[in-house]
Amino acid sequence: SEQTFITLNDGHKIPQVGLGVWQTPNDTAVTAVKAALEAGYRHIDTAAIYGNEEGVGEGMRASGVLRDDIFLTTKIWNDAQGYDSTLKAAEQSLKRLGTDYVDLLLIHWPSPHRGLYSETWKALIQLRKEGKARSIGVSNFGEQHLDRIIADTGVTPALNQIELHPDFAQHELRKVHGRLDISTQSWSPLGQGQLLDNAAIGKIAGKHGRTPAQIIIRWHIQNGLIVIPKSVTPSRIAENFKVFDFQLDEADLEAMSKLDNPDGRIGPNPMTATF
């Protein structure tokens, strides 16, 4: 019942389950991050735009877990895109987090109307060279955005963090990731909680004596995805990490594959978003 890891295309290992902290204010982030690290998590997903990097850093230090044992991700917000402004934004994130490196730095959205994601990617490559980010990747990128940054720089992102849950399984984009050797990270893995009272998932949960959240997280793990469920409640944070001591069987996975729905998207469509 040990946690599992995915090896990224740059050789670094990322814990397959991490804590997401979107919509978590600083003071709550301190307690949530500390609770997660005490429950065994070693992976935290924040972003500059979440406004809680100080709280995340404080929670990490309060836990007593060594910095080097934690996989920490943050993201460059859209208004900081561009080469120089990205270098500056990364410095500011590191300062707020109270650390001199992140394990993973992501471009939060391609924001194609700005026309700056390729310049932004060049800054991430520089930050990796300087050791300020150990791995670099993207979020919400489509195939054309991935192809473009790889063509422009020769550097392939380690992963693409995208909206993905059993009822929005993203098979097309996952195929693209397979072709390019990019790992897939699932955001809103629980469908922002909407999937927790799904009848099919409830049935599987009953069969295994597990909670719906644990069944969904297990589905991500067995699909080779990296998953960052969010909770601020210590008991749920712990529950969401107790997923390494059981397995879904073929019938469970087959039943869950039927939930996939092209209209399952909850968040903005990155192809048309104008923020």
* Annotated binding-site residue? 208: no
Structure tokens at 62: 């309060």
Regarding 25 and contact with ligand NAD (CB under 6 A), the answer is no
The residues pairing with 15 across neighbouring beta strands, listed in sequence order, are 5
**Residues 55-84 vs ligand NAD: string with x where CB under 6 A?**
------------------------------
**Which DSSP string corresponds to the chain?**
----EEE-TTS-EEESB-EE-TT--HHHHHHHHHHHHHHT--EEE--GGGT-HHHHHHHHHHH---GGG-EEEEEE-GGG-SHHHHHHHHHHHHHHHT-S-EEEEEES---GGG--HHHHHHHHHHHHHTTSEEEEEEES--HHHHHHHHHHHS---SEEEEE-BTTB--HHHHHHHHHHT-EEEEESTTGGGGGGG-HHHHHHHHHHT--HHHHHHHHHHHTT-EE--B---HHHHHHHH--SS----HHHHHHHHTT--TT---S--TTT---
Rounded Cα gap, residues 272 and 12, in angstroms: 32
Question: Is 83 an active-site residue?
Answer: no
**x/- site string to ligand NAD, residues 87 to 106, per CB under 6 A?**
--------------------
* Contact set for ligand NAD, span 26-45 (CB under 6 A): 45
Nearest distance from residue 9's CB to ligand NAD, in Å? 19
CB of 268 to ligand NAD, least distance (A): 8
Nearest to 227 by CA among 237, 219, 236, 238: 219
* Chain residue at closest Cβ approach to ligand NAD: 20
Does residue number 139 form part of the binding site for ligand NAD (CB under 6 A)? yes
Q: Hunting for tokens 């500056």 — which residue is that? A: 88
Residue 190 as a binder of ligand NAD (CB under 6 A): the answer is: yes
Among 230, 248, 256, 259, binds ligand NAD (CB under 6 A): 230
Does 189 engage in binding with ligand NAD (CB under 6 A)? yes
Q: Which of 87, 266 has the CB closer to ligand NAD?
A: 266
Among 58, 167, 239, 252, the residue binding ligand NAD under the rule CB under 6 A is 239
Binds ligand NAD by CB under 6 A, chosen from 140, 160, 183, 198? 140
Q: Is 192 in the site for ligand NAD (CB under 6 A)?
A: yes
Q: Which is nearer to ligand NAD, 113 or 130 (CB)?
A: 113
Q: Kindly tell me which residue out of 39, 125, 180, 196 binds ligand NAD, with binding defined by CB under 6 A.
A: 196
What is the binding site for ligand NAD (CB under 6 A)?
20-22, 45, 108, 139-140, 161, 187-193, 196, 211, 213, 228-231, 236, 239-240, 267
> Which residues are annotated binding-site positions for substrate?
108
Which sequence positions are flagged as catalytic? 50
